[in-house]
Amino acid sequence: MTHDIHIIGGGLAGSEAAWQLAQRGYRVRLSEMRGSGDTTPAHHTDGLAELVCSNSFRSDDDEKNAVGLLHHEMRRLDSLIMRAGETARVPAGSAMAVDRDAFSAEVERMLAAHPNVTIVRERIDQLPSEGPTIVATGPLTAQSLAQSIVAATGQDRLAFFDAIAPIVHRESIDMDICWIQSRWNKRNSASNEEGDYINCPMTKDEYLAFHQGLMDGEKTEFREWEKDTPYFEGCMPIEVMASRGVDTLRYGPMKPVGLDDPRTACPEFPQGRWPYAVVQLRQDNKLGTLWNMVGFQTKLKYGAQIELFRTIPGMQNAEFARLGGLHRNTFLNSPLVLDRQLRLRNAPHIRFAGQVTGCEGYVESAAIGLMSGLMAASELSGREWQGPPRTSAFGALLSHITADAEAETYQPMNVNFGLFPPLHDVKKKQRKEAYTSRAKSDFGAWMEETALVPA
């Protein structure tokens, strides 16, 4: 064998993983399909770490912003993506944006020049049956390899169409208007004490105005290579459902039956009356800090979503951890199929990294690639892996992917403070600074304890 580890995919995650391993003395074979005669519908070049959408890595503020904090932690671990990003940086205020061509060229230059990295332009069609491997093929994994992943994980563990419902920070919901209850008060062993859903009630006039807003709101179009992917009934955009009739939503995700609005309690209805329509939110993480809008996958543009969804009673001040969307994607149900070191449970010689694990965004993809590289290096050296603290940006993101998210509703997620263990004793205005201060302290201590200094 001419290499110690095989990395499949030369995007942000695969490139970062290769760098971390190579810097620690391990020989890496980095396989990239583009340049071998194959490509994806979204890419335009053969360059490693090509940025196919935006050229922004979002906020670089590491004092009040979760993604900025992730930048900080990546820099402390000598991230290739952060290094190349600085080299290719262009003005963007407090955000970090790059010249995408210069950025890709710098990543490829640094990896090609590294004596421990061999870049091979080849398409891999099957998961390797043996040998340490990291799969970082991104959201447009080639069909043959995707089929091999399906065979290894199960048909229901890999999604090809990403139906994303908006996620709201729990503390921004007005509970003087909303209430918690399960429909017909039905519970199971996993139920919360009060109930499983936050319910936002609507009058007839409010519902009709909301329905019209769905019909009129500005929507995004599918990209050309997505148009042959049909809707599934289970992930129908809410505005498509609304177009089927004014009452369709009231008999679907917004049905009010079995939900008693306590504000309308009276002698005849001591528990309260049923509203005309209800928007329900379901707990999205084990911490209870994030709640998703049930059935609200949508193609509305982001600005239109914020404007319309804040007309929902109780959500007038809603803060969104993620907005809705619907697009072609390939990602694992990671809480089910991956262990805490990103290894495939039934084939632990294979790790996954990047967007295929269900993280969202350039920075998050690279960050998970970095962690997969460190995990693999630890395993190759025979050292026991000690993961980053749950209070850090890395730890929060890894916990979401491997443990904290609900497998039944698992969806791609950007890093955000809703993934961090909450600080209820800190005033809301000071909470972001408190999150970052705690994270930096705990992350620094972890680096010292584990000797994970830049190689």
Q: Which of 323, 357, 374 corresponds to the end of one domain?
A: 323
Residues at the binding site are: 9-14
DSSP string across 270-296: TT-B--SEEEEEEE-BTTS-EEEETT-
347 and 406 share a domain?
A: yes
CATH (domain of 116): 3.50.50.60
What are the residues whose beta carbons fall under 8 Å from the beta carbon of 178, sequence distance 6 or more? 198, 199, 200, 201, 313, 314
Instruction: State the binding site for FAD.
Output: 9-14
Question: Would you say residue 93 lies in a domain?
Answer: yes
Tell me: pLDDT of 225 over 50.
no
Question: CA 302, CA 439: separation in Å to the nearest integer?
Answer: 29
Interatomic CA distance for residues 326 and 221, integer angstroms: 10
For 214, 238, 352, the CA distances from 210, given in Å and listed in that order, are 6, 12, 41
Give the residue from 253, 255, 258, 250 showing the smallest Cα distance to 195.
258
303 located within any domain: yes
79 near 370, Cβ under 8 Å?
yes
Considering its fold, how many domains does the chain have in total? 2
- 304-323 pLDDT, tens digit each: 999 999 999 999 999 998 88
Backbone dihedral region for residue 293 (phi beyond 0: left; psi -120 to 50: alpha; all else: beta) = beta
Under 8 Å between Cβ of 198 and 345: no
For helices 100-112 and 12-23, the axis angle rounded to 10 degrees is 30
Q: Which residue has the higher pLDDT, 46 or 117?
A: 117
Give the bridge partners for 285, in sequence order: 405
Place of tokens 């599918």: 222
320 in Cβ contact with 166 (< 8 Å): yes
145 and 191 share one domain: no
**pLDDT > 70: percent of the chain:** 90
Q: Are residues 232 and 310 in the same domain?
A: yes
**pLDDT averaged over the chain?**
88
Helix 80-87 / helix 362-381 crossing angle, nearest 10 deg: 140
Residues 305, 361: one domain? Answer: no
Whether residue 202 contacts residue 213, with contact meaning beta carbons closer than 8 Å, is answered with no
180 and 287, same domain (yes or no): yes
pLDDT for 231 beyond 70: no
Q: Are residues 23 and 133 in the same domain?
A: yes
Record the tokens describing residue 42, joined without a space. 């979204």
What digits encode the pLDDT tens for the residues 148-165?
A: 988 888 766 666 555 678
Same domain, 250 and 350: no
Q: Clarify whether residues 361 and 417 are in a common domain.
A: yes
C-beta separation of 68 from 41 below 8 A: no
Q: Which of 257, 292, 323 is a domain's end point?
A: 323
Question: Is 306 found in the same domain as 189?
Answer: yes
Separation between Cα atoms, residue 218 and residue 232, nearest integer Å: 22
Is residue 455 a part of any domain in this protein?
no
Domain-located, residue 61: yes
> Is the Cβ–Cβ distance between 145 and 127 less than 8 Å?
yes
Range of the domain at 250: 167-323
Same domain, 155 and 87: yes
pLDDT tens, residue by residue, 171-186: 999 999 999 998 888 7
Q: Give the pLDDT mean for 130-134.
A: 97
What's the token pair of residue 160?
Answer: 């090809």
Q: For residues 121 and 177, state if they share a domain.
A: no
Q: 429 lies in a domain?
A: yes
Domain match, 128 and 264 both: no
pLDDT in tens, 179-205: 999 888 877 655 677 888 899 999 999
**Is residue 310 one of the residues assigned to a domain?**
yes
Q: What's the CATH number where 297 sits?
A: 2.40.30.260
351 inside domain = yes
Q: What is the DSSP string of 368-393?
A: HHHHHHHHHHHHHHTPPP-PPPTTSH
Nearest to 62 by CA among 317, 363, 411: 363
d(CA 132, CA 78): 23
Query: Across the strands, what pairs with 320?
Result: 168
Q: What is the pLDDT of residue 100?
A: 80
Q: How confident is the model at residue 232 (pLDDT cuts 50, 70, 90)?
A: very low
Domain presence at residue 356: yes
- Taking Cα atoms as reference points, which of 175, 227, 218 lies closest to residue 304? 218
